[in-house]
Every structure is written in C-alpha cells, then in structure tokens.
Structure 1
C-alpha cells in the first residue's frame, strides 16, 4: 500500500465512521480518533465482505458503501457499549 492509499483509507474511514455515528441515536461517548479507527476497520471489512460475496466489480460500488456503513453502525454500537462513559467528574 502506498502513502496515498493509506491517506485515502484514513479519509474514507473517517467519513464511514461519521456516517455510522450519525445513524446511531444518542450522545457520542467515544473520542474522534476511535471513531476514525472504527471507520477504517469498517471500510476494510465492508470491502472484504463485498468481495467474498462476489458483489464487487471494481471501482465505486453501492453494495460496498452499504456494507461499510452497516459495519460502522454495528462497530459504533459495540464501542459505545463498552467504552467508559464520561461523567464530567475529574479525579
């Protein structure tokens, strides 16, 4: 993977993570860096699932985008369930 590909993966991951966050209702309890990481993993996972199912034909694909966002939604829900809640209290 080239530097350009890595930068594109991070940008796409950020967009996918934010889209997944918008679908999940409620207050955001996870930091932005974790949201980007969730998006990057969801982007790679969605692409892999599309190719495993034989739906990928190269280039932009509606199935790929749908799988990526759905995986991001599931991942955001999981991370929010296990990430410590902010209470506003400082120790």
Structure 2
C-alpha cells in the first residue's frame, strides 16, 4: 500500500468514525484514536460487505456502501464504549 492509500484510509476512517459517533445518542467516552481505528475498520469491512452485495462500484456516490460503513462504525463505537465502560 502506498503512502497516499494510507493517508486516504486515515482520512476516511476519521470521517466514518465521527459519523458513527454522531449517529449514537449521548456522550461516548472513547478517545480520538479509538474513533479513527473503529472508523478505518468500519470503512474496510463496509467496503467488503458492499462489494459482496454488489453495490460497491456504482456511478457517483455509493450511498448504500456509505450507510453500511456508518452503521458498522456506530456498532463499533457502541461496543467499544460498552467494553471501556465496564472498567
């Protein structure tokens, strides 16, 4: 993977992670790095799921893929909040 691919994955992870946190009500007690990590993971898994469903490469913006990624990020943030909240 090239440097530009790594940088774009981080930027996309930030956006997806923040959107995932915005979907959840209330305050989440996880840090920025955790949000980025969850966002990157959600973006990668969401892209794989969208490709498996056949909705990944359409003309224009892939809205279904984006919704899958945001949903996965929200689930990831909620799960991480629950895990970190037990401590």
Query: Under a length normalisation based on structure 1, what TM-score does the superposition of the two structures give?
Result: 0.87
CA RMSD of aligned residues (A): 1.6
1:63 & 1:24 partners in 2: Cα distance? Answer: 19
The answer for the alignment partner of 1:36 in structure 2 is 36
Where in structure 1 are there 5+ consecutive unaligned residues? 87-91
Matches within 5 A, 1:49-68: 49-57=49-57, 60-68=61-69
Say which SS state the counterpart of residue 26 (structure 2) adopts.
coil
Q: CA deviation at 1:60?
A: 3.6
Greater helix fraction, Structure 1 or Structure 2: 2
The answer for the alignment partner of 1:20 in structure 2 is 20
Computing the radius of gyration over CA atoms, which structure comes out larger, 1 or 2? 1
The superposition leaves residues 46-74 of structure 1 with CA deviations (integer Å, 9 ceiling, x where unpaired) of 10000011112256411111110000011
| Inter-CA distance 85–39: structure 2 relative to 1 (3 Å threshold) | same
Say which SS state the counterpart of residue 56 (structure 1) adopts.
coil
The answer for the alignment partner of 2:70 in structure 1 is 69
User: How many residues are paired up?
Assistant: 86
2:35 & 2:65 partners in 1: Cα distance? Answer: 19
| Inter-CA distance 85–30: structure 2 relative to 1 (3 Å threshold) | farther
2:22 & 2:65 partners in 1: Cα distance? Answer: 18
Where in structure 2 are there 5+ consecutive unaligned residues? none
1:57 & 1:21 partners in 2: Cα distance? Answer: 26
